[in-house]
Structure 1
Amino acid sequence: MVIDLNADLGESFGIWRLGDDLALLDVVTSANVACGFHAGDPVTIRRTCAAAVDRGVAIGAQVSYRDLAGFGRRAMDVEPEELCAEVLYQLAAVDGIARAMGGRVSYVKPHGALYNRVVRDREQAAAVIDAVADYDVTLPVLTLPGSVVHEVAAAAGVPTVSEAFADRAYTPEGTLVPRGQEGAVVHDPAEVAARALEMAVKGAVTAVDGSSVPISARSICVHGDTQGAVRLAQEVRDGLLAAGVVLQAFT
C-alpha cells in the first residue's frame, strides 16, 4: 500500500512567520507551496522550493484566490477568464522558481475557498483546469474524491489525484466541515494519526455524526498552519509506516 503525505508550506509572508517548513519537509513526501496570492512571497517560495529539492520532496503549486488578508479562505466570485489567468500566473511563478532551484512543480492543488468551490462549481473548476492545461496538460490536480474537478479535468485530458485530510472533520456526505464550525479541525495527534490510518488502510473516514464514509485517496494532507503541525505530521508518518504503508509522492 502506497500513500503520499502532503502539507501546505511556504505560507509565511515578509516578517510574518507561519509554521515550521523545514521540519515538515523532513516528514512529508509532497509540499503544497503557496504561490503568493493567499500567502508566501518570493523569498519564502525560493527557500521552500530549495529545501524541498534538497530533501527529494515533490513540489506542488498551491493556487488560490487573490486574498492575502483572508488567507485565501474567504468566498469570492471571480470571473472565469480572470481566475484562469491568475491560476496560470501563480503556477508559472512557482514553477519558474522551483526550476531555478533544481526542481519543478509536479502537481497543482487549489487552496482554501478555491479548493472548496471547485469541488461543486463546474465553471470555477473549468477555469482552474483550463489554466493547468494551458501550462502543462500532464500536471495532476489534487482534489477531494467525488469533486466535479475530476469530471472537468477528464474532459480536458488533465489527470487528477484524490486526497483526504487527516486533521479535518468530515460531513456524512464526504465533504469537509466548514472551518467556521466547531470541531472542523482535529488537533489531537493520536486521533489524527488514527484517522490517517483508517483512510489509508480501510478507505474510510469517521464523519462528525459517527458514520463511516468511504473515501479513496492516494494522498493524505496535514495542514502546515494547524497548531502542532509538525508533531501531527510525524505521528501520521510513524503510524502509517508501522502499519506497513509505503510513503511515496504520487507524482
Structure 2
Amino acid sequence: MTVDLNSDLGEGFGAYRMGDDAAMLDVVTSANIACGFHAGDPAIMRRTCGLAVERGVRIGAHVGHRDLAGFGRRAIAVSPDEVRDETLYQIGSLDAFARAAGDRVRYVKPHGALYHQAAADPALADALVAALREFDADLVLLGPAGTEMERAARAAGTAFVGEGFADRAYTPEGLLASRGLPGGVLDADAAVAQALSIAREGKAVTVDGGTVAVSAASICVHGDSPAAVEMARRIRSMLDESGLFVRSFT
C-alpha cells in the first residue's frame, strides 16, 4: 500500500520567509509550491524548485487567488474565466522554474479559499480543470475527494488524487474545519495519529470528537504549522514503520 506525503512550500515573499522548506523537502514526496499569487516570488520559486529537484521531490503548482495581503485565504468573488486564466498563468510561471531546475510541474493543487470554492462551485471547478488541460493534459489535480473538483476532473478525463490533512480537523460533513474553531488545528501527537488513520483506515477526526471518512492517497502537512518539520518527520517515520510505502503519486 502506498501513500504520498505533501506540503505547501515556497510561501515566503521578498524578505519574508515562512517555514523551513529545505528541511521539509528532506521528508515529503510532493511539494506544492506557491506561484506568486498568494505567496512566493520568482527568486523563491526558483530556489524551491531547485531544492525539490535535488531531492527527487515532485513539483506541484499551488495556485491561489491574487491575494498576497490575505495569503489567499480570503474568499474572493471571481468569475470562472478569471480562475481559468489565473490558474494557467500560475502553472506556466512555476513550470518555467521547474524546467530550469531539470524537471517540470507534475500536478496542481489549489490553495486556501480557492481550494474550498472550487470544491463547492461546479463552474469554478470546471474552470480550474480547463486550465490544467490547456497547459498539459497529463497534469494531475490534487484536492478533496467527493467534491466538485473530483467531478470536474473525472468528467474531463483528468487524473485526480484525493487529499487528506494530517494537522487539521474535519467537520462531520467531511470538510476541513475552520482554523479559527477550537480544535480546528491539531497538535503534533494528534496529527501523527490522524495521518496514520487516514492512510490505513480512511478516517479523520472531527471537531465534535467523532470521525469521518476521508478518501486520500496523499496526506498534507502544512509547512507553516508550528514545528512543522518535526511533525512531518514523525509522520513519515510512523508511515514507514507501519509498512506503508511512501512515494509520490506522479
TM range (shorter): over 0.9
RMSD: 0.9
- The answer to whether the 8 Å contact 2:182/2:207 transfers is no
Q: Which residue of 1 aligns with 2:146?
A: 146
Which sections of structure 1, spanning at least 5 residues, go unmatched?
none
Q: Which residue of 2 aligns with 1:69?
A: 69
- The answer to whether the 8 Å contact 1:109/1:143 transfers is yes
Q: Which residue of 2 aligns with 1:107?
A: 107
Runs of 4 or more consecutive aligned structure 1 residues displaced over 3 Å after TM superposition: none
Q: Which residue of 2 aligns with 1:240?
A: 239
- The answer to whether the 8 Å contact 1:5/1:30 transfers is yes
Most deviating of 125-134 and 201-210: 201-210
CA distance in 2: counterparts of 1:227 and 1:206, whole angstroms: 19
Deviation at 1:212, TM superposition (A): 2.1
TM-score by length of 2: 0.98
One-letter identity of the residue aligned with 1:130: A
- The answer to whether the 8 Å contact 1:140/1:161 transfers is yes
Deviation at 1:184, TM superposition (A): 1.5
CA distance in 1: counterparts of 2:172 and 2:131, whole angstroms: 32
CA distance in 1: counterparts of 2:57 and 2:123, whole angstroms: 32
TM-score by length of 1: 0.98
Deviation at 1:29, TM superposition (A): 0.3
Q: Which residue of 2 aligns with 1:194?
A: 193
The alignment of Structure 1 onto Structure 2 pairs a total of residues equal to 250
Q: Which residue of 1 aligns with 2:7?
A: 7
- The answer to whether the 8 Å contact 1:169/1:184 transfers is yes
One-letter identity of the residue aligned with 2:213: P
Do structure 1's residue 216 and structure 2's residue 215 form an aligned pair? yes
- The answer to whether the 8 Å contact 1:190/1:235 transfers is no
Work out the percentage of aligned pairs sharing the same amino acid: 54
CA distance in 2: counterparts of 1:248 and 1:241, whole angstroms: 11
Deviation readout 1:187-220 (Å, 9 max, x if unpaired): x222111110111111111212222212221000
Most deviating of 22-31 and 124-133: 124-133
Deviation at 1:56, TM superposition (A): 0.2
Q: Which residue of 1 aligns with 2:94?
A: 94
Q: Which residue of 2 aligns with 1:128?
A: 128
Q: Which residue of 2 aligns with 1:38?
A: 38
